[in-house]
Chain A
Amino acid sequence: MKHVIVTGGSKGLGLAIVKYLLSENYTVSTCSRERNSAIDELLSQYSTFQWFQVEIGNAEQTAEFVRKACTWANEAKLWGVINNAGIAKEGILATFPNIETDSLLQINLHGAIYLAREALRIFLSQNSAGRIINISSIIGSRGYTGLAAYSASKAGLDGLTRALARENGRRNITVNSIAPGYLDTEMSSTLSDKKREQIIRRTPMHRLGHVDDITPLVGFLLSDGASFITGQTITIDGGITN
């Protein structure tokens, strides 16, 4: 059995990734700040699933999370980590409070760096291969009005992906980013109807993305078939950035 850690697995894309990986027989640990009914349901359904309350962005809590998750997973060795937890906050930068920038970067970027560090320490000390997947966004490369800090955090994640891929490739550790377009989740629920229509109109596939459009790629990047793919940011956006 292979153990995969997914951050932010209580909702949206993270929850879909957790369900997908459980159905593919991975042992899965996840975390979020709050426990909800989706987590309760999975805990009652799968003995191969565990949830921890963690504030991603806090280095000590992240280290503790990885330690506890790996102890819980026991025989199932750590195989992959998926940096999915993230927040989006909207506002024109000129009036965007610095404190909001700090907390966004702390979660979206620092949090991912802390988790990657913990995972790499385990991969190196077990002398094993491994996979790191960062959930980025097309906004990291394209930008979006009102999402400057978010965009910077995702561009940062893609930089992290490229650097870690170079640094750790010789140990058979791959690192990739997945950059979804606009997904229909709680995060995008604040989009106005007008914006939503505009995005759909500009998307060749003529719809918003669904979390199930993303999960198969996560599965593939964790599989043996993806062992030569590293340092990439792979876009899944229905063609909108074409």
Chain B
Amino acid sequence: MKNLKNLIIEKTRKIITEKGVDCPTITLNSEFLNDLPMDSLDLATLIVSLEISTGLDPFRDGFKTFHTVDELINLYTEANS
């Protein structure tokens, strides 16, 4: 599987640029809903598209909170192990 970190950052950037807005630098500490021009539907789109390309669903057994890019990477890494 492609490096999860790169995949998540790449897909996040794609979702933002498809909205027609400039994408700021995405760091591991970037908070999706505070630091990036994303709303809750954009975040849902990211999760769906990650599931389509990785087959992983870290939320299958219930909600897990995350705010930052790093926290999301950790959830996918755990689901992949």
B52 close to A125 (CB less than 8 A):
yes
B77 close to chain A: CB less than 8 A: no
Q: CB distance A121 to B48 under 8 Å?
A: yes
A121: chain B residues within 8 A (beta carbon):
48
Q: How many of chain A's residues touch chain B, expressed as a range? A: under 10
11 new A-B contacts at CB < 8 Å, known A120-B44, A127-B18? A121-B48, A124-B41, A124-B44, A124-B45, A124-B48, A125-B48, A125-B52, A127-B45, A168-B41, A170-B41, A171-B41
* Cα–Cα distance between A121 and B52 once the two chains are bound (Å): 10
The complex places the Cα of A125 from the Cα of B52 at a distance, in Å, of 9
Q: Which residues of A contact B41 (CB under 8 A)?
A: 124, 167-168, 170-171
Chain A residues with CB below 8 A from B30, complex form: none
A contact residues around B68 at 8 Å (CB)? none
A residues whose Cβ falls under 8 Å from a Cβ of B: 120-121, 124-125, 127, 167-168, 170-171
In the complex, which residues 32-79 of chain B have their Cβ closer than 8 Å to any Cβ of chain A? 39, 41, 44-45, 48-49, 52
SS class, residues of chain A in contact with chain B: helix
**How far is it, in angstroms, between the C-alpha of A37 and the C-alpha of B48 when the chains are bound?**
38
Would you give 17 A-B contacts (Cβ < 8 Å), ordered by A? A120-B44, A121-B48, A124-B41, A124-B44, A124-B45, A124-B48, A125-B45, A125-B48, A125-B49, A125-B52, A127-B18, A127-B45, A167-B41, A168-B41, A170-B39, A170-B41, A171-B41
Count B interface residues, CB 8 Å.
Answer: 8
The 4 closest A-B pairs by CB, nearest first: A124-B45, A121-B48, A125-B48, A125-B49
A127 and B49 alpha carbons, distance in the complex (Å): 11
Most buried by B among A124, A127, A168: A124
When C-beta atoms are compared, the residue in chain B nearest to A124 turns out to be B45
Complex interface: chain A residues within 8 A of B48 (CB) = 121, 124-125
Chain A residue nearest to B51 (CB atoms) is A121
Point out the residues of chain B lying under 8 angstroms from A171, CB to CB: 41
Cα A201 to Cα B6 with chains together (Å): 68
CA distance A171 to B19 in the complex (A): 11
Q: Mask for B4-23, Cβ within 8 A of A = 1, else 0?
A: 00000000000000100000
State A127–B39 Cα separation when bound (angstroms): 14
